[in-house]
Amino acid sequence: MVKISFLGGCREVGRSAILIESKTGAKCILDYGIRFRGKQRLPQDFDHENLKAIALTHCHVDHSGAIPYLYKEVDIPFFTNSITLRISNILIKDMLNIGNFSYPFGNEELKSMMRNAKFLQNELRQKIDENFFITFYNAGHVPGSVSILVEVDGRRILYSGDINMGETNLVERALPSQFPEIDTLVIESTYATREHPPRNEVEKKFVESIANVIESGGKVLIPAFGVARSQEALLILEKHNYGGKIFIDGLAKKICDVYMHHPEYLKDIQKFKNSLSRAQFISESQGRNDAKNSNAAIIAPSGMLKGGASINFIKSFLNDPFSAIYLVGYQAEGSPGRKLLEEGVFEYREQGLSHKVNGNILVAKCNRDYFNFSSHSDGPLLHKYVENLKFRNGDNNIFCMHGDNKSTTNFAKELIEKGYNSVAPEIDEIYSL
């Protein structure tokens, strides 16, 4: 019997981790991420004996963050690709340096993870043990992201990772037609109960809104995730012929540099180069002051205003009724970005300290808006993905994970109504296939 264990990412977004075991007991881990809150930040532990390989879908730390922990004990291949490895290294180092939580591993284990990395090209089958193979396929989520097909003892299990079938400017979208027939699907459910607005309309409104603010003498702060979203924002501005000044700061600059060195993972490297040539990189505090005082758009992480370069700018924006803060990413409940959108106030907390400006929560006088540039498929696209996959032997097994309780369980219910054998697994559950 092939066994699949859900070690994390069950009815939650965070610490995604799956263990697959062959009938001879050989094991493979798919993702081993962390979550940002609570005491239990790592996935469930498991018996590492006979672990043959670790494979990673993409760089985000909810998938990659706890992989170094496994290298405390094992010395086995870590299958990934070059862009994912470089960015995972940057993000995990950042995560360890923030220092608000003491992880049971550090830079030594991260180095061991880096040493064990083996690069896999998409659509090339890799043997990890007898009758045990993995293959990567483009997942369309961020540059380098993959879905993983596991072939074990004749069973085919597809783990989607985070997927996007929607059109973006940065990366080619995921195509369900690329896979062979499968027996079991493990699929993300982040936005399974929601529908994204039409992308092109959101893009146009975003660029028009920025142009209007600039024209009336204001400036625009675009807090964006440093990985992928900042670069997508640049590409959108370029695509819609935005002619104004653009500055880019913080982690986003580093990631731009990584993307330039990995053109094969981008949809169109020339367009990316064009978008970069329009932007000015902010390199020191004088540059920050110049950017602050100019009639410009500034792209700066972090996406939820939890920290990062955007914090250097925020005060001068909040006080200016002619300026705007445009959020372009997911805003978690309780995050400063969400509070700013919903309550029109800004309160910044870090490491348990409250950075209330002048001892008070700052009321925003500037314009604020949210533009949905999600890099996940929405409900209709997730259903389309499933419908376009071919299941063999009539098993039709689908496990819904990587979504809150409502998204995962509702998605599983909708799939059951469509005739699939679906469930939203709970943490530590083991299924025989």
Binding site for Zn ion (CB under 5 A): 60, 62, 162
Please identify, using beta-carbon distances, which residue of 10 and 279 lies nearer to Zn ion: 10
Please identify, using beta-carbon distances, which residue of 84 and 409 lies nearer to Zn ion: 84
Q: Using only C-alpha atoms, what is the Rg of the chain? A: 22
Please identify, using beta-carbon distances, which residue of 218 and 379 lies nearer to Zn ion: 379
Please identify, using beta-carbon distances, which residue of 29 and 291 lies nearer to Zn ion: 29
Please identify, using beta-carbon distances, which residue of 139 and 246 lies nearer to Zn ion: 139
Minimum Å gap between C-beta 388 and Zn ion is 21
Please identify, using beta-carbon distances, which residue of 27 and 60 lies nearer to Zn ion: 60
* DSSP string computed for 57-75: S-SSHHHHTTHHHHTTT--
* 321: number of Cβ within 10 Å: 10
Query: Quick check: helix, strand or coil at residue 159?
Result: strand
Minimum Å gap between C-beta 246 and Zn ion is 25
All residues at 6 or more sequence positions from 306 whose CB lies less than 8 Å from its CB, including other chains: 335, 336, 337, 348, 350
Instruction: Specify whether the CB–CB gap between 57 and 102 falls below 8 A.
Output: no
- What is the distance of C-alpha 250 from the center of its chain? 18
Minimum Å gap between C-beta 256 and Zn ion is 19
Angstrom distance (rounded) from CA 174 to CA 171:
9
Minimum Å gap between C-beta 91 and Zn ion is 11
Minimum Å gap between C-beta 140 and Zn ion is 11
Minimum Å gap between C-beta 162 and Zn ion is 4
Angstrom distance (rounded) from CA 237 to CA 210:
9
* 284: number of Cβ within 10 Å: 8
All residues at 6 or more sequence positions from 394 whose CB lies less than 8 Å from its CB, including other chains: none
Please identify, using beta-carbon distances, which residue of 161 and 336 lies nearer to Zn ion: 161
All residues at 6 or more sequence positions from 168 whose CB lies less than 8 Å from its CB, including other chains: 140, 199, 232, 267, 373, 375
Minimum Å gap between C-beta 44 and Zn ion is 18
